Structures are given as C-alpha cells and as structure tokens.
Amino acid sequence: NAGVTQTPKFQVLKTGQSMTLQCAQDMNHEYMSWYRQDPGMGLRLIHYSVGAGITDQGEVPNGYNVSRSTTEDFPLRLLSAAPSQTSVYFCASTRGQGNTIYFGEGSWLTVV
Amino acid sequence: KQEVTQIPAALSVPEGENLVLNCSFTDSAIYNLQWFRQDPGKGLTSLLLIQSSQREQTSGRLNASLDKSSGRSTLYIAASQPGDSATYLCAVRRTTDSWGKLQFGAGTQVVVTP
C-alpha cells in the first residue's frame, strides 16, 4: 500500500522562488493536512482540508497556499520562499475525526 | 492554548528494560490523544490512539494510559529492543479544535542499547 506519498523528498530553493510540494493518498481519506517540523518546536499545522474544495488555515499559514481539487491530492504551494521556511514538511491524512492519522515520509526543504 | 510537554527529552536504556514515556497537557478537554513513533529521516507512524472516553489502549508490547483529569498520558514499552530506538511523540486534539489541529509534544528520543 502506498499510503501517503510526498514529493519531492529534498529540495533547495533560492529566496523568492516559488514551488509546490505534492501530497497524494490512496486511502480515500477525506481529511488531509500539512505540518512543518522544526527543531525544538515540534510539528505545527500549516493548512488542512476536510474534503475536496474545502480548506482552512492552521497555526502557521503565512507564506503558504493550498487547494483541494480531488480527494486524493493536497498540494502545498510556497509563494515566495524565505529562509524561515527551511523545514521538514509532512503531509497527513485520516478517514475521520476519531481515526488514526497517517503521515507521509516528509519533504526536506532548504531556502538559501 | 494547549501546551503539550514530553519529559524526558532523551532516554537511554539497556535492552530488556521497560520504557516509560510521559506526556502532559494543560487543557483536559481533549477529544483524543495519539502516540507516534518517528525514525530518523522518516515520517510519523501512529502507535496508539486513545479516545477521551478510554483509560488505556494496548498493542503488543505497547500500552498507553490516559488520565484526563491530571492531564497526563504514559506510554509503556515492555521488554525494550534495539529496534525500539526512535523518537516518540504524543499529540492531543482538543474538543474545541477541528480534527486537523493536533498539538504535538517535542518528543522523547529513545536509545535502546544491546
């Protein structure tokens, strides 16, 4: 089972560049989310979605954009990359509110 | 704001010893609590999910307890093995938050020595 798949695994960007982190899940989960993980700060929620066409902001949404056109995909866009966005990004999905959450393997992003 | 704390930050034990990992949270109005395992360079793997109405959950050598009134959860790993070496994180969802708004602790890094 593929589960939650994230691409790319590693990326280096220059300040001001834009890019999209891809996330796909094959479990037909309605709920998907993006987190970033930084040393000493744990995981913080960026954006989340409760279904196709529905997205909402999390704890640290500034500088990021999302859309959910299909159940399977939930891409995260960096509009104008900044060094403060250097982090590890995780996509997650779940069947429902009381269910186990599944994470992708992460995308390591460095902004120089 | 929900604060989630995991103590200790790091732990080293010899193989065969039982592991006890602690997670505390400040807001007792939680919907559920999950324990995750994270290996270096990898994503998070869910170990146990405890609903607010439950006191504990068990899976194999793992047992997690939940005491909402005191704001604490404990993950027990019996008879530790070198393969248990990883970082363990707990995450809490408050009843007032939407499903995706988990509050994570910073994790406990565990090393099990042969």
State the Cα–Cα distance between residues A85 and A110, nearest whole angstrom: 8
A10-13 and A107-111: which strand pairing? parallel
Residues B113, B15 contacting (CB under 8 angstroms): yes
Longest dimension (CA), chain A: 40
pLDDT band at A1 (very low <50, low <70, confident <90, very high): low
Using a CB-CB cut-off of 8 Å, the residues of chain A touching B101 are: 45, 48, 58-59
Query: What is the pairing mode between strands A76-78 and A64-66?
Result: antiparallel
**Probe site for chain A from B44, B48, B89, B97 (most A CB atoms < 10 A):** B44
Which residues of chain B make contact with A56, given a CB cutoff of 8 A?
98, 100
Contact A52, A22 (CB under 8 A): no
Triad B113, A39, B92: Cα angle to 5° = 85
**pLDDT, tens digit, for every residue of A25-57?**
999 999 999 999 998 788 999 999 999 999 999
Q: Which residues of B touch A (CB under 8 A)?
A: 4, 31-32, 34, 36, 41-46, 49, 51, 89, 91, 98-102, 104-107
